[in-house]
Amino acid sequence: MRISASLCLAVLACATFVATAATAQQASKPASITAATPPMGWNSWNFFAGRVTDKDIRAAADNLVATGMKDAGYIYVNIDDTWEGQRDETGVLHTNDKFPDMKALADYVHSKGLKIGIYSGPGNKTCGGYAASLGHEEQDAKMYAEWGIDYLKYDLCSFIPDVMIKQAPDDKAAQMRIMIDAYQKMGNALKATGRPIVFSLCQYGWDAVWEWAPALGGNLWRTTGDIDPHWDRIYAILSQQDGLAKYAGPGHWNDPDMLEVGNGKLSLNENWSHFAMWSMLAAPLLAGNDLPNMKPEIKAILTNKDVIAIDQDSLGKQATRVYSDGEVEVWTRHLSGGAMAIAVLAAGDSRFSTHPFHLDLAKLGLHGPQKGKNLRDGQEITLTNNMPIEIQSHDTLLVRIAAPK
Ligand code: GLA
């Protein structure tokens, strides 16, 4: 009797110990971060704009899988503006004819091992003039969660005239506070759903959004106005990112807007430089091209695993521009394990290979020859001080140095 009693006590103590240890382990386990690395996927706007349909989104999901982009990390399939129909008398927002069944579409995208994103805004109307979420934030967030939505892009647009200017006509600072409250409202509504939904703020970088967006649950925020597939625009956006590195990190990213790789008349060098520099910026990589008709050289850029590894580096440290020399710029990014990425970009229109650029390693804090990998051709490269680099207009030399000295 005594034996079994003490055995019982020992078992109990042991069980308590195991349970306590398990709880302690759980407590010390970091909660998983939403958007621990910059979100990657595809968004409908840059190619389809207002024409996008349910069929296009299904085809995008199919193509992300078929092209190997899913395996390269492109997980989100994001429906941008123009899916919205009318609200009924209970306030429920219905889809329009182009999207007959959003739940079924989300299930389809999920069945491919992908995630799905949607679009709305804090105003009465979206930028395209469709119904947005003003006064229905919680109802909409709940509906997204019920559909299985994983990502929301929330676009300011009509909130500016309808609410900000109307409520505080001559007070810009008050307008900004109203705007921040509107994003807070949706941040709270998403949180209340209990579903991890990436929250993407689209308000064009107003009022130093990078300062306040993380606190209200923002995982990424646009830092500028819209991108378009022209080098001048891409470069103008790139220039505005310098200095923002300190605001980016796991779970919260600067968003210089979605990719135009493969769109318009960008040259191959421009497509490459756009992708290389967005990866240096730890930017969300949201392709926006015509996936079914993607050319092999565009696919090669978008699925370049070494470049994607720069973008997705777990440290999450965005690049800074270390120096420029006329129209050539040198950016560096610190990577996990002490590695470093160096980008030499010929940003201007008039540099050709006959007059090489000379790289000043000391300016990058490096001394002596640096062994690395050229991420465009995958070849080994050794950077030496003052070495001549032949680089053409709008091209980028992107090098990863495993052990910088
Ligand atoms: C704004 C955004 C774009 C796109 C359109 C849709 O212009 O910045 O990215 O979402 O609205 O109407």
Of the chain, the end-to-end C-alpha distance in Å amounts to 71
Compute, in angstroms, the gap from residue 190 CA to the centroid of ligand 1: 21
Q: For a substitution probing ligand 1, which of 43, 45, 79, 224 has the most ligand atoms within 8 Å of its CB? A: 45
Compute CA distances 359 → 39, 49, 68, 112, 382, whole Å.
Answer: 32, 41, 36, 45, 12
Annotated catalytic residues are 155, 226
Taking only the tens place, the pLDDT of each residue in 59-77 is 999 999 999 999 999 999 9
Q: Is 81 in the pocket of ligand 1 (CB under 6 A)?
A: yes
- Tokens coding 148: 């299985």
Ligand 1 pocket member 48 (CB < 6 A): no
Alpha-carbon separation of residue 74 from 18, 106, 116, 383 (angstroms): 40, 16, 11, 32
Q: What is the pLDDT of residue 21?
A: 43
pTM of the shown model? 0.92
Which pLDDT belongs to residue 353?
66
CA pair distance 117, 267, nearest whole angstrom: 30
Determine the Cα–Cα distance for residues 389 and 329; give it in Å rounded to an integer: 12
Distance CA 77, CA 335 (A): 28
In angstroms, what is the span from residue 201 Cα to ligand 1's centroid? 11
Q: 128 C-alpha to center of ligand 1: Å?
A: 8
Distance, CA of 45 to CA of 356 (rounded, Å): 39
The predicted structure's pLDDT at residue 2: 41
Q: Is 128's C-beta closer than 6 angstroms to any atom of ligand 1?
A: yes
56 Cβ inside 6 Å of ligand 1:
no
Q: Splitting the chain (405 residues) into consecutive groups of 10 residues, what average pLDDT does each group show?
A: 41 43 46 93 98 98 98 98 98 98 99 98 98 98 98 98 97 98 98 98 98 98 98 98 97 98 98 99 98 98 98 98 95 98 95 84 97 98 95 96 97
203 CA from centroid of ligand 1 (Å): 10
Q: Is 84 in the pocket of ligand 1 (CB under 6 A)?
A: no
Q: Which of 376, 372, 379 is nearest to 397 (CA)?
A: 376
Closest-lying ligand 1 atom to the alpha carbon of residue 225: 8
How is residue 28 written in tokens? 């010390």
Counting ligand 1 atoms within 8 A of each CB, the residue from 226, 233, 255, 263 with the most, and so the one to mutate, is: 226
The interaxial angle of helices 54-66 and 102-111, nearest 10 deg, is 0
Pocket test for ligand 1, best of 155, 201, 221, 257 (most atoms within 8 A of CB): 155
CA of residue 343 to ligand 1 center, whole Å: 29
Check pocket membership of 117 for ligand 1, CB cut-off 6 A.
no
Q: In whole angstroms, how large is the CA radius of gyration of the chain?
A: 24
Check residue 3 and give its pLDDT: 40
Name, in order, each residue with C-beta under 8 angstroms of 355's C-beta and a sequence gap of 6 or more.
none
Return the amino acid letter for 238. L
